[in-house]
Amino acid sequence: MTRIAESELILNTRGAVYHLDVRPEELAETIITVGDPDRVKAVSRHFDRVEGTYQHREFVTHTGYIGQKRLSVVSTGIGTDNIDIVLNELDALANIDFDTRMVKEEPVSLQIIRLGTAGSLQESIPVDSFVVSSHGLGLDNLLPFYTYHNTPEELQLLEAFRGQIRLQPSAARPYLIEAAPALLERFNEGFHQGITVTCPGFYAPQGRVLRGNLSHPELIEQLSHFSFENRHITNFEMETAGIYGLGRVLGHQCLSISAIVANRIRQEFSKDGNAAVMALIEKAVGIIAQ
């Protein structure tokens, strides 16, 4: 095995990983991610005991316990460029020996669960409801920079997507990865389920027009009408496919759950998106801690 150079795995003066400023012993193997750094404390409020808090830039981490279960909550900020940093550094904390700079022999598979917000693409999925992502479909171009494999089912779904959604090839190279089945099956009651599209932006990449004109004006209509073997696109946001994709590359089990704050078909926005996110955190943390 080769030693990983100082320029590739970057450690700071306290021996913590570069962006997250966390040391290996400070991270649990079950990790909740949130986008907004202020939401980290809304999750750790449910811990019985907080063992440590760490912060560097927009990456806030709290580690603690609910009963006997050790959990970390980490903020990612917005977008799959940040997911590239967070997932690689979480993986490094679990699977690289920081003293020898060698990959450990026995890989650890982390459980990584995103609790975030999203826009609904179905009239029947209202604001303030919760969606668990059966698949992440990325329009953001992160995963093509890695080597990875798809299952036959994923390839079929991706093929159907390419056939039904007319994207200019210069705009995106879609990829698709499923959720970890063992995590997905725990979030049944009270959750809608479907394919989540991950976009490289909040405005035009999600069909929003303020002053910039759209190159894909039919995007929302096409996404909302996609159908393949009873599978539908339920929502879009900006991280899920990157998390599922890097989970596949690095061998971690990932799930993404969103509180719906916008319904793009009904053109509605939640009257209290924060309350919806707090309700999602309470419900999901209860299930994760079991």
Ligand X SMILES: O=P(O)(O)O[C@H]1O[C@H](CO)[C@@H](O)[C@H]1O
Ligand Y SMILES: O=c1cc[nH]c(=O)[nH]1
CA distances from 182 to 96, 179, 188, 254, 285 (A): 25, 9, 12, 10, 16
Residues 80-139 that bind ligand X (CB under 6 A): 116-117
One residue of 117, 129, 224, 270 binding ligand Y per CB under 6 A: 117
Based on CB atoms, which residue is closest to ligand Y, 63 or 270?
Answer: 270
CB of 11 to ligand X, least distance (A): 28
CA distances from 44 to 48, 91, 145, 146, 256 (A): 8, 21, 34, 33, 18
Based on CB atoms, which residue is closest to ligand Y, 71 or 243?
Answer: 243
What's the rounded Cα separation, in Å, for the pair 281 and 44? 10
One residue of 86, 262, 280, 281 binding ligand Y per CB under 6 A: 262
Based on CB atoms, which residue is closest to ligand Y, 91 or 237?
Answer: 237
Contacts from 38-46 at CB under 8 Å and sequence distance 24+? 39/75, 39/115, 39/277, 39/281, 40/73, 40/74, 40/75, 42/277, 42/278, 42/281, 43/73, 43/115, 43/281, 43/285, 44/73, 46/281, 46/282, 46/285, 46/289
What's the rounded Cα separation, in Å, for the pair 174 and 156? 13
Vertex 208: Cα angle to 138 and 201 (nearest 5): 35
Site string for ligand X, 137-156 (x = CB under 6 A): --------------------
Site string for ligand X, 190-209 (x = CB under 6 A): ------------x-------
CB neighbour list of residue 5: distance below 8 Å, 6 or more residues apart: 101
DSSP label of 232: E
Based on CB atoms, which residue is closest to ligand Y, 246 or 262?
Answer: 262
- Which one-letter amino acid corresponds to residue 75? S
One residue of 206, 224, 240, 256 binding ligand Y per CB under 6 A: 206
Q: Which stretch binds ligand Y (CB under 6 A): 46-54, 113-121, 154-162, 180-188?
A: 113-121
Q: Kindly state the tokens that stand for 16.
A: 């913590």
Q: Is 36 near ligand X (CB under 6 A)?
A: yes
Question: Residue 89 touches which of ligand X, ligand Y, none (CB < 5 to 8 A by kind)?
Answer: none
Based on CB atoms, which residue is closest to ligand Y, 134 or 206?
Answer: 206
Which of these, 140, 95, 84, 68, lies nearest to 4 by C-alpha position? Answer: 95
Based on CB atoms, which residue is closest to ligand Y, 11 or 171?
Answer: 171
CB of 119 to ligand Y, least distance (A): 3
What's the rounded Cα separation, in Å, for the pair 48 and 216? 48
Based on CB atoms, which residue is closest to ligand X, 78 or 160?
Answer: 78
One residue of 21, 89, 91, 237 binding ligand X per CB under 6 A: 237
Q: Which residues of the shown chain bind ligand Y in the complex (CB under 6 A)?
A: 117-119, 202, 206, 237-238, 261-262
Q: Which residues of the shown chain bind ligand X in the complex (CB under 6 A)?
A: 34-36, 78, 116-117, 202, 237-239
